[in-house]
Amino acid sequence: MQTHPELAASVQKGLENFSESKILPTCERLQDALKGISIRRGSTVVVHALPASGGYTLLSLLLVEPSLEGIYSAVLGLGDYNFSLAAHLGADLSRVVTIDPKLKFSERELAQAAFALLDGFGVVVISGGIASLNSPRFSAKARQKGATLVVVENSSSLQGISYRIKADLRLFVARSSWRLSNSVSSGILTEGEITVQVLGRMEHRPGRQAS
């Protein structure tokens, strides 16, 4: 297990490697889904997902390439997110940190932690509830530090999506289809497709669609 000084040094090294690029590195599968759309450092990305539509799969794909390039990510406020999915898709979980949901911190306390983590982490993922406490302040700090802020908003339908969080890029996970791995008992989904609709900052409804 890494000590705090070792972790700080490792985070700093990742930041140094990251500092030259203005674009968040993305894995090939995510690039295919986004069809050439880049995620810029310092931007706020909101992931809107219908229940069981593949939103956490998209999130996991977002974490893969940064972790492999030495960039640290933090995930806060998503108590039902399964990190084993990110590992299965290729993420290095030694560079993905979270706060144990069993500790029962309030959203305000998690917001304070997330705000501090933007100082040194390349990607910070938070729930819509946390972001709504002060989304302009989160976005301003992400822009200042060159970190990518990812906000996960659970939505029951595309028509009912909330725009309470201002974003540079919105990703609407419309649907997904997956197949189990060799053994049904493994419970691991290994092959499939997600459909992502992309909305830019100046657009007001889902436009470009990729899968």
83-97: pLDDT as tens digits: 998 999 999 999 999
The reported pLDDT for the residue numbered 199 is: 72
Q: Model's pTM, two decimal places?
A: 0.80
What gap in Å lies between CA 77 and CA 110, rounded to an integer?
7
Q: How far is residue 180 from each of residues 16, 50, 183, 185, measured CA to CA in Å?
A: 39, 21, 7, 9
The CATH number of whichever domain residue 164 belongs to comes to 3.40.50.300
| Residue 205, H or E segment | none
* C-alpha torsion sign, points 135, 130, 175, 33: positive
What gap in Å lies between CA 34 and CA 211, rounded to an integer?
Answer: 7
Range of the domain at 24: 4-210
Look at the chain and report how many structural domains it folds into: 1
- Summarised one tens digit per residue, pLDDT across range 98-144 is 998 888 899 999 999 999 999 999 999 999 999 999 999 999 999 99
Q: pLDDT tens-digit profile of 144-177?
A: 999 999 999 987 666 666 677 889 999 888 665 5
